[in-house]
Amino acid sequence: MPIATVNPANGETLKTYEAMDEEEIERRLQLAEATFRTYRTTGFADRARLLTKAADLLDADQQETGRMLTTEMGKPIKQARAEVAKCAKAMRWYAENAEALLADEEPADTDVKDSGAARVRVRYRPLGPVLAVMPWNFPLWQVVRFAAPALMAGNVGLLKHASNVPLTALYLEDLFHRAGFPEGCFQTLLIGSAQVDDVLRDERVRAATLTGSEPAGRAVASTAGEMIKKTVLELGGSDPYVVMPSADLDRAAEVAVTARVQNNGQSCIAAKRFIVHTDVYDAFAEKFVAAMRALRVGDPMDEDTDVGPLASEQGRDDLEELVDDATRSGASALCGGHRLRRPELPGWYYPPTVLAGVTREMRIHREEAFGPVATLYRASDLDEAVLIANDSPFGLSSNVWTRDEAEVDRFVRDLEAGSVFVNGMTASHPAFPFGGIKRSGYGRELSGHGIREFCNITTVWQGA
């Protein structure tokens, strides 16, 4: 895949880049290692000052940067600006909280005495250069949620971004440079996927984090395992959205639309499988389908657009194949279901679609639909709702709508997911851990859990 910016709204190639050669990669690896030796000794106050400056620059760049995100991957412009603001918020959160999150821990006095020590501390120390392999769907946010905690912990970052968002990748390197971070603290590697393995095998790279597809996760985890290197993986998701009889149906249906089509439906944590109790299934389906049908599909630069194009032609084709497989096998499209063919929209558009009658034999039941396509399921009771929700290879997040506290307890206990959102849609926040189980990956990003993932947790034992 070429490293190029291609506008998904019209298919126009705007800029193409050559992949870095071995000499340039080596230069950047040397710089990362050399920078880490000194940057690791800086204090939290200095790191926080630099990260806050980066946040200030992001705020100042919001309009221009938002347009860049929309141009590269097609998200509606309002959502692009919101992504920029979210990144600045996360930077400030880590600037303000990292020192406390990584403060030395003192074990109980009785345990210290029992060990024969005069003093014992647990200290969090940085690991070194961390390779981040990042996707295109939230091209700024998914990098920042790695970079902000990593830099505050004293690590340095090497970014291998998706090949279709090179402008964003280069912008991020420049952003941290303008903020005053030492040269080498954060570097972009303009390389193809085939070059990742060699970089990860390099002994100067101490760990890796990947957000992306299952195959990409397997490849990185396999190499990292062979090299005995720490990894954090955030892979796909096919999140359930369960609606029970006690739910506020109007609100549940309204939020369901946003939960499904945010980012043009290209979000790992977007709700994808809507599991509705039979007592309220018809009423919910009517509201949900009407709202999905009413969404405005159009130019992502238009402030009134709800759903823009998919990020790539291949992504649109893959989604179309999933829907076609389902309808050929007996599912019915309550709205959408066919590729948009409008001369004023020459890009990679697919309409908001709701499928009913989905069965376990259909590909869309097991595979992630990365676009504005929802599947509706009918559940006879809570037990069946849980069974359907867990009948997935993924376990990233989940959504439950009920006003019955006993049902809340059951869902929290039994749903196989990294998060359970009750009466609301899944969203990430810098203070809360984020990640999944099963084929959605392992490890956690954000919060204190995320900043400690790439730390050397060191026991310091001192005798009398």
268 flagged as catalytic: yes
Out of 87, 185, 268, 335, pick the active-site residue.
268
SS3 at position 53: helix
Q: In the structure, how many helices (H) and strands (E) does the chain have? A: 16, 19
Dihedrals phi, psi of 232, to nearest 5 degrees: -125, 130
321 flagged as catalytic: no
Dihedrals phi, psi of 271, to nearest 5 degrees: -65, 135
Task: List the structure tokens of 62.
Answer: 């919001």
* CA dist., res. 85 & res. 304, Å (int): 20
Is 218 within 8 Å of 439 (Cβ atoms)? no
Out of 234, 367, 407, 445, pick the active-site residue.
234
The label of the residue with tokens 């796909």 reads: 236
Q: 2-23 in b/e burial notation, b at 16+ Cβ within 10 A?
A: ebbbbbbbeeeeeeeeeebeee
* CA dist., res. 157 & res. 183, Å (int): 11
In Å, what is the CA distance from 160 to each residue of 157, 167, 191, 213, 304? 10, 13, 7, 14, 33
Q: Give every CB contact of residue 225 below 8 A, 6+ residues apart in sequence.
A: 231
SS3 at position 57: helix
Q: What is the DSSP string of 225-251?
A: HHHT-EEEEE----EEEEE-TTS-HHH
Is 371 within 8 Å of 349 (Cβ atoms)? no
Which secondary-structure segment (H or E) carries 395? strand 394-395
In sequence order, what are the beta bridge partners of 187?
158
Q: What is the DSSP string of 310-332?
A: -S-HHHHHHHHHHHHHHHHTT-E
Is 331 within 8 Å of 396 (Cβ atoms)? no
Nearest to residue 416, comparing CAs of 396, 445, 442? 396
Q: Give every CB contact of residue 266 below 8 A, 6+ residues apart in sequence.
A: 137, 310, 311, 315, 370, 371
Could you list the active site residues?
234, 268
